[in-house]
Every structure is written in C-alpha cells, then in structure tokens.
Chain A
Amino acid sequence: MKLSMEEVEHVALLARLALSEEEKERFGAQLSSILEYADRINQLDTTRVDPTYHVLPLQNVSRLDERGATLAPDDVFQNAPDRDGSYFRVPRIL
C-alpha cells in the first residue's frame, strides 16, 4: 500500500491542510507503512459480520424542546479570532 503524491495531496485537500513538500514526503511514507500494517484486517472474511458503529444500544437521543441556560455572549466572543460586534468576521466569500 504505497500512497502516491497525488493521493497525499488529495487527502490533504479534503482535510483542509496545507502541507509543505517535506511534510507530503514524510506523511506519505508514514501513512503508507501504517496502512500496510492496517491492511491485515482485510485477511479476514467478514461478509456475515455486522459493523459496530457504537457500543451503546442508544438511538436518536432527544430532549424536550425546552428553553434552558445559554452561554454568555461575552464568554463566547472572547475566543473569536476576529469579531465584529455579535458577528464572527471571516474572509469574504463572494
């Protein structure tokens, strides 16, 4: 399982990571060896095995639509990298 440079770049794009050339080389080689090791899971025939997504027998946990305590806006906005009043400012997208 050897990852090509194109695959490394594609995955980095999907993951929203800007990698240096050195990182692409290094991660490419490391991911290849990890995937080669992980490939042993494909030695087993699992056609009749159900996947386990989650260990608890819970589904669709919901709560009553009731008003509860909310976070203080000042507490929340103090962490904003770029703020304009009660807005988060981002680079223009249009």
Chain B
Amino acid sequence: MEIYDLTAHELADLLQRGEMTSEEVTGAIFQRIHDVEPDIQAYVTITEEQAYEAARQVDGERRQGKDLPYLAGVPAGLKDVLCTRGIRTTCSSRMLEHFIPPYSATVVEKLAAAGAVFTGKLNMDEFAMGSSTENSAFFPTHNPWDLSRVPGGSSGGPAAAVAAGEAPYALGTDTGGSIRQPASLCGIVGLKPTYGLVSRYGMVAFASSLDQIGPMTKDVRDCALVLNLIAGYDPLDSTSAPGAGLGAVPDYTAFLTGEIRGLRIGVPREFFGDGLDSAVAEAVKASLGKLAGLGAVVDECSFPHAEYSVPCYYLIAPAEASSNLARYDGVHYGYRAVAENGGAYDLMEMYTNTRSQGFGAEVKRRIMLGTYALSSGYYDAYYLQALKLRTLIRDDFNRLFDQFDAIVSPTSPTPPFRLGEKSDDPLSMYLSDVYTIPVNLAGIPAISIPCGYTDGLPVGLQLMGPVFSEGTLLRIAHAFEQDTPYHQDRAPLKRGHAAVSPAGREGGDSHGRL
C-alpha cells in the first residue's frame, strides 16, 4: 500500500513510532493530490503552504518529546462549508467565491488544537443543496470508482478526496444525507451524529434544525477517533446539546469491541420497496446475513410514515434555507451586483440582482420553494403540516427503538449515477436521499459503511440508532467491517465513458479551477 492509501490511525502509528514525519506524510498526500486532482477535482482551494507549516510545527513538538494528541500531524480535508479564518470559504457558490472568514468553525479549531494538518477546502453542491456535487458553481467532482459518475453530494468533494487518497479523512456536513450518501457512493465510512452532539458554530447554515457536521473516513476506527475530537458542548452554538446529552463525551474507540452478540437490529420493510436498485438490495440483504452471523438478532419491522419523509423534508429544509440565505444581500460580505454602463441600482435592484447572479439554479429553486411554503395562505398546508409529519416520523423511530438497538437500510437506493443523468430532474435527484432523510428529521445518528459492490461500484449500508447512540452504531459498524474486506479496498480511479461536459450543467457557467 502507498502512504496515501493508509488510514488516519495507521498514519498516526507511523508518526508515533517515528517511522515518518508529518512533513513526509503531508508531502505524500500533496503528491497524490497533484497526481489525481485533474481527474477527481475534489478541491476548491488547496492550502499546501499552510499545511507544511502545520506539519513542521507538529514534527518540532514531537522531536521535543511533547505529549501530542493521537492524530497530531495527520492531514485532513474540510468541506468548504466550514469557516477557516484567513482561508477562503466558498460553499461552492459565486456568492461566497471571495469570502475570507474572520473566524474559524469550532470543529476546525478543535482539529487544529489536536494537531490536524489541513490540506484544503473540498467541493460540494452549492450551499450543500444537492446529491451529486454537480450543483457546485465551480466544477463537478468525479467518483474515484468510475470517473464518469458522480461522487454523491452534497459532501462529494470530501468523499471523493478520501476515496482517492487525497486526504486521509475529512469533515463533511449532513442535512438530509450529505455525509452518508456520498460516503456510500465513494465506498467510505460517513457518520451523521445526533443533532447537537457536534457544534455547528462556523458552519455556513443551510437548514438549521437538520444540519450536522461529521467524519468521513476510510474505516470505522478513524470515524470514532475523529468523532472523539469534534464532539462536545459548545457555548457558541445555542443548539449544542448540554453535556452533549450524556455527561462527558465518551471515548468512542472503546466501543470497537467486535462483539455484537444479542444486539437487536430492525429492518423496516418500507426501506426495501419501490425505487430500490435490485443489486443494491441484494448487497444489503447479504449484509443482514453477515450481521446475523456475528450474533445480532435481525428482524423485520415497519416504518409506517417512511413515504412521507421526502416530501416533509423538501418543505422544511427549503423553508429554513429561504430564511438562512436571506443574509446574502450584498451588504456586509459576499457578492454584490453592480449596474452596467456606469448606472446605479436602487436598494431593491441591488438585492434582487445580487441574489439572482450570486446563487445557482438549485439554490434559487429551493429558496423559491421555501418562500412559497412559508408564505401567507400556504403556511398551514405545507410548512405546518410538514412539521406535524416530522413528529410522526420521530414517533415511528421511537417506537422502533423500544424494540431494537439499531435500524438498518441501504444508504442510497442506487449505485453512483452518471454525471448529468439527473441534473435536469430535481425530484428524481431528491429521491436519492429517501433513506437518509428520516434520520435528520428525527435528529438521530446514522452511519454509512461499505457493504459490497455492484458492477464494480460501491454499495453502502446505513445503521441508524436512538439519540446519542453513536457508540453502539460504531460498535456494530466496526464488527461488520472487521468481518468484511471492503474497508481495505481502494478506488481504481478508472476512466468510465466520456464524462458529460460541465458546461452543459444547469446553473454552472464556469468549470475552471479557481
């Protein structure tokens, strides 16, 4: 295996044993980035200089015999929705193309304090709205398992970077599946923590009652290690769970025992119905057999309101987005439209032109949808009704968690689709998130892990648990992983059929590197 193929914990062990320096590891990762970025296009901004500086600092401290956090000196990528002080944070939007945050997100501060070496900012669907990363205003990212296919989204940059060896691990964000679906499509591990476990301070908001930050890693141990670093109460986030809901944050690696005998795992039949690709279904069903073989008690169950999750989400999330994105008005920061030919806009013209030119098509579509759902005359029928459905979906989960320790489903109903395949049909794109959305609506945690292949493309298995059950989910995921070979496989970076020209995409008018 090459250095860039190693997990974060394998790299950490090399560093601790003094077999490599952080500068050498960082060099190996940037060599990989330079080699494969033309094919993958995962990075919006590469911070090579700052990375070497951080790496040398860790190396110096290690030479002095300082007691360093375990992952100190290991490189990491950040989804470009997380604010980094002094480093451009774009959300893959024209609106924030030149935005330099005056502060860093809490998760960024926490990783930096633990000695992380940041490689750069990773591509995403604009403002995290999308399931393919084709909604990036800059360029689409390609799936390392087949370059003609999407990496999923909205955290497609982080997922592709980790799968291609361009970052040992990354942080993503998940509002309706944006960590888990791309993790599934790129054959890596992705965790959406319980709402409130990880601080959202400094994450550019999309839908505030649904957004969570989480790890995207090559294996389950890395996932637990990164969660250890980012979890915990933050007074700067008023939706941070006090005491993280469980007193002190536990050491999540302590749950990785390999022992899952007697754990009860539910399989909702509604998650295996219409719209599920048969090869994906087959791989997931084979995984259920493996879990049973490890001693778990696997039983069928029912999730009666499953079919209402997607419509419920596509009213609530756009409603919250329409409010959150009202801040992009061209006054304090971000893009401002300027009248042509020396003319001058009045205030309203400045607002409307700024927003129309600064936002891409999907963002405008969701702002319109959310504004409509909140507008007078439609509020009760759409927004309020969706909030009531949200209660019913939570109740479904609560009933299931009386009987089961975890619920299992496919992560995505299909394998990675081709670039351009769904970009003209928003509704079909929205249905990519049919199994991940209920989790965000209920605020519970869920993890996606690789569970097999169809036609050489990765398939992901999703495990969902009650609030603050990350330990149990990691335990099951780890036992499964250690019993299967998938976490040791690496993407071949093979070229599929000719990729669709990015110029043909809706809402994108540039595909040049920034």
Contact = CB atoms under 8 A, between A and B. Distances in A.
Interface string A19-35: 10001000100110111
Nearest to B339: A91
Contact of B311 (A8, A40, A81, A91): A40
By secondary structure, the B interface counts as: helix
A11 B369 CA distance: 9
A39 B442 CA distance: 21
B375 interface: yes
A71 to B, nearest CB: 5
Contact of A44 (B99, B195, B350, B389): B389
Contacts of A11: 368, 371-372, 375
In this complex, the interface size class of chain B, counting residues with CB under 8 Å from chain A, is 35 or more
By secondary structure, the A interface counts as: loop
Interface string B283-322: 0000000000000000000000001101110110000001
A63 interface: yes
A17 B371 CA distance: 11
B333 A55 contact: no
B512 interface: no
B348 to A, nearest CB: 8
Contacts of B50: none
B314 A31 contact: no
19 contacts: A3-B372, A15-B322, A18-B356, A23-B364, A34-B314, A34-B426, A34-B430, A38-B386, A40-B311, A46-B385, A46-B388, A56-B195, A58-B241, A63-B235, A71-B102, A81-B331, A81-B333, A90-B350, A91-B345
Interface of B: 85-86, 98-100, 102-103, 195-196, 209, 235, 238-239, 241-242, 307-308, 310-312, 314-315, 322, 326, 329-336, 344-353, 355-356, 359, 361, 364-365, 367-369, 371-372, 375, 381-382, 384-392, 394, 426-427, 430, 441-443, 467
Interface of A: 3, 7-8, 10-12, 14-19, 23, 27, 30-31, 33-35, 37-42, 44, 46, 49-56, 58, 61, 63, 71-72, 75-76, 78-82, 88, 90-93
